[in-house]
Each structure stands twice: as C-alpha cells, then as structure tokens.
Amino acid sequence: STWKAELTGNQKGLFYTYKVKIGDKWTEAVDPYARAASVNGDKGAVVDLEETNPKKWKANKKPKFKNPEDAIIYELHVRDLSIQPESGIKR
C-alpha cells in the first residue's frame, strides 16, 4: 500500500522520517519517494527542485541523437569523478 499525507503551511527546508511499526517494533524509515535527502540519505528533505536549478537551466538542451543507442551514459559518484586534480574540475 502507498500512503499519502498533505500538510498545510510552508514545509520547505524541513527534514523528515516516518515511524513505522513492523510486528511489535517501531522504527524510523526514510521516505522511499523523497525527492531529496539529507547527508547519507538518513532523512527525506522537503525542497522545491525548481529553486535548485542553476541560472539558464531551462535554456540548456539535451543532446540530440539519431539513435538513442548511440548515447554513452555513466553512473558514478561525483566525488570519485572530481577528486583528482587531473579531472579539470575547479573547486
């Protein structure tokens, strides 16, 4: 089952978890549908993702491919990619 709750007022910037009961034991759980999370992902975060976009974000266009199979997609950790001075990323 999926549960839903709506809160009134401005919740932006708040962190949250859920208390769930499994059997006789209560535990805290992170929202699996959270749009953002705290450091180490131990809490959900309420954010307006539109406010996190850099300037001119909407003007950026994704590359066009004749064949989507031509795309090269990397999955990586940002720190691992940027930690070496040879990465060329300014700190």
Burial 50-88 (b: 16+ CB within 10 A, else e): eeeeeeeeeeeeeeeeeeeeeeeeeeeeeeeeeeeeeee
The token duo for 72 is 């090269």
Residue 65: the pLDDT is 84
Tokens 């950790």 identify what position?
77
Domain boundaries, the chain: 15-87
Nearest to 18 by CA among 40, 33, 8: 33
Structure pTM?
Answer: 0.60
Written as tens digits, the pLDDT of the chain (91 aa) is: 777 888 999 999 999 999 999 999 999 999 999 999 999 999 999 999 989 898 888 898 888 888 989 888 889 888 888 888 888 887 7
